[in-house]
Amino acid sequence: MTRSLPTATVTAPTARPASRRWLRFALHYVEMVIAMFVGMVLLMPLTPAAWAALPAVHALVMAADMTIGMAVWMAVRRHSARQITEMSAAMCTPFVVLLVPYGLGAITGETLMIGGHVLMFFTMLGAMLLRRDEYAH
């Protein structure tokens, strides 16, 4: 009499579903935004003169504070120096670009601050989308 042994079913490992990858990507974006605000709140007391200075100085110091917070968090999460540098550039670029129309008198200091912050969210997202596989893992 021959007995057959039960066979185990082996399945190949599957990749994460796309919805899960996009959720991880979105959560990573939220983490970075929180880190930006933490950086701004923690570093703001160290630069009180910047808050009373010209709007251009104020904007650049605030952008730097937020970038430092985000860069520290990315380092904690073990991102590469390249990723940290790219994201830092993405965050500061809107403010630097808006300094031109501000310097020409085409926009106000308030527009510089608001525009820089709004555009920062889009440039960060753009940097993440360029390397979405790295930010969705």
pLDDT tens-digit readout, 76-134: 999 999 999 999 999 999 999 999 999 999 999 999 999 999 999 999 999 999 998 88
Residue 3 domain flag: no
Integer angstrom CA distances of residue 122 from 9, 11, 15, 69, 104: 47, 40, 28, 18, 24
Residue 60 domain flag: yes
Residue 70 domain flag: yes
Range of the domain at 118: 18-135
User: Is 56 buried (19+), middle (13-18) or exposed (0-12) by CB count in 10 A?
Assistant: middle
Residue 83 domain flag: yes
Residue 53 domain flag: yes
Number of domains in the chain: 1
Residue 9 domain flag: no
Span 44-75, pLDDT tens digits: 998 888 877 889 998 999 999 999 999 999 99
pLDDT at 136 over 90: no
Residue 57 domain flag: yes
pLDDT at 8 over 60: no
Q: Which residue bears the tokens 């929180």?
A: 34
Residue 6 domain flag: no
